[in-house]
Amino acid sequence: MIVILVAAIFGCGVALVCAYRGARWCLNRIAKSLAVVPEHVMRNATVERFVLDMAKEKPIRFTAEQLTGITRNYSMRLGTGGFGTVYRGALPNGLAVAVKVLHPGLDTKTSEEQFMAEMGTIGRTHHINLVRLYGFCFDANATRALVYEFMPNGSLDDYLSSARRAGAEVSMTTVAAIATGVARGLRYLHEECQHKIVHYDIKPGNVLLDATLTPKVADFGLARFVSRADTHVSLSGGRGTPGYAAPEVWTELRITEKCDVYSFGMLLLKIVGRGSSFHCEDDAASGSESSQPWFPMVAWTRYEASDLMELVLPTDVDDTRSSSREVVERMCKVAFWCVQQRPAARPSMSAVVKMLEGEMEIAPPPNPFQYLVANLWINVVSSDVASSQQSCLSSHKK
């Protein structure tokens, strides 16, 4: 009995020592993987070597002091969004970066959810049409920031708006290539990642352009992982941008990646109408008031009348009238399929890419806005009935 007891105690002791050493080893590995990179390491590495190393490693953890130096005390602001402000910076080796600092005014839960959404999604993906996350800073009591690759041509929204203000003409070939790149990025998120990722906020402001106008999907603050075995995602509330978010985002709690397909369709219509006086933001479905007709509905009307070219600016010298007509018609037909009311009627992003690239024939789409016309008719009838009832009531009182 004594021998057995001693052996048992000795065995437990050995097990505890092994467990302790194993835990220490794991913690050391984690700490090493998230260790702050010394500035001299970044300074001595060439940009090419640094980017190559980044492709093999996890995002780098920066200190708040390093970010202050990288951004020159946050002196150059690039823009501000709902969750944070973006500043331009440069690593010690000269690599240009964009530093997104989460708003300090956000409550802790919202700030952490935003941080984890971006780190957990874009931090695990590598694709030419997705913005690259270089690193992060997480200080529980102060700075929470994400360090991205810098996009010299800004957002697609800014690019189209500045071209319009300057009176410059952007060829349909160029914008079609940008749209196809965005579609490839979404195809990767939906169909090629280990876990399906739904972005939930596809719009021109969240598409960035590099020096060669290669588009990169950005801002993953609302993104969600979805198991490929799941048929839908349950949400506690609506998310996305009115005018681009799918109708079911606001009306149902069980949605799919087809929400991104709808938003991409609206983005296509925005690109097509870049030179028009109409805008996709005038969301008839959301009830926003505007003196201008809703561009997607106008585009459908023009499509039915075989008059789509009236929607866009004259093309530049790189496009012929016939080729522009073909590109515009293809983009509009794809867009009309993407914005169908029923999610099941919308194509997958792989099918969208094939249609945009001309590898798949595009069937004539049904009217995607029929439900809006029906709802408008019901509202008008209901209004007339209410007016009649009020008149009858007034007459009865008299």
Per-residue DSSP letter, 130: B
Give the least confident one: 117-121, 162-166, 195-199.
Answer: 162-166
On whether 56 is known to bind a ligand per the annotation, the reply is no
pLDDT at res. 180: 97
Q: CA torsion sign, 234 to 239 to 243 to 245?
A: negative
Domain 156-378 top-level CATH class: mainly alpha
Taking a C-beta distance cutoff of 8 angstroms, is the pair 95, 51 a contact?
Answer: yes
pLDDT tens-digit map of 350-389:
999 999 999 999 999 999 998 876 565 445 444 443 444 4
Tell me the C-alpha distance between 266 and 372, whole Å.
15
Collapsed DSSP state (helix, strand, coil) of residue 53: helix
pLDDT for 227 beyond 90: no
* pLDDT: which is higher, 243 or 11: 243
Q: Could you give the percent of the chain with pLDDT greater than 90? A: 38
Give yes or no for residue 201 having a pLDDT over 90: yes
Model pLDDT, residue 5? 66
Distance, CA of 152 to CA of 208 (rounded, Å): 9
CB proximity list for 4: less than 8 A, separation 6 or greater: none
Taking the CA atoms of residue 304, residue 356, residue 188 and residue 217 in that order, the dihedral angle to the nearest 10 degrees is -70
Which pLDDT does position 185 carry in this prediction? 97
Q: pLDDT at position 231, please? A: 59
User: Is the per-residue pLDDT at 230 higher than 60?
Assistant: yes
Mean pLDDT, the chain, whole residue set: 77
Just give the CATH number of 39-149: 3.30.200.20
pLDDT at 91: 92
Q: Report d(CA 78, CA 372) in Å as an integer.
A: 38
Widest pairwise Cα distance in the chain: 108
Of the listed ranges 81-85, 213-217, 325-329, the least confidently predicted one is 81-85
Contact (CB, 8 A) for 276 and 311: yes
Q: How far is CA 212 from CA 55, 182, 208, in A?
A: 21, 14, 11
Query: What is the model's pLDDT at position 42?
Result: 52
Name, of 129-143, 147-161, 219-233, 316-330, the range with top average pLDDT. Answer: 147-161
**For residue 143, what pLDDT band results from cuts at 50, 70 and 90?**
confident
* Cβ contacts of 81 within 8 Å, gap of 6 or more: 219
pLDDT at position 81, please? Answer: 76
Whether residue 222 contacts residue 199, with contact meaning beta carbons closer than 8 Å, is answered with: yes
Question: 149-153, 286-290, 365-369: which range is least confident on average?
Answer: 286-290
Spans of all domains in the chain: 39-149, 156-378
Q: Do 39-149 and 156-378 fold alike per CATH?
A: no
Q: Please give the pLDDT value at position 323.
A: 72
Query: pTM for the full model?
Result: 0.77
- Any idea which of 17-26, 92-101, 238-247 has the lowest mean pLDDT? 17-26
The residue annotated as part of the active site, out of 158, 201, 230, 282, is: 201
Other beta carbons within 10 angstroms of residue 138's beta carbon come to: 18
pLDDT at 15: 61
How confident is the model at residue 17, as a pLDDT?
57
Count of residues making up the chain:
398
Quote the pLDDT of residue 182.
98
Residue 201 annotated among the catalytic residues of the structure: yes
**Residue 274 predicted with pLDDT over 50:** yes
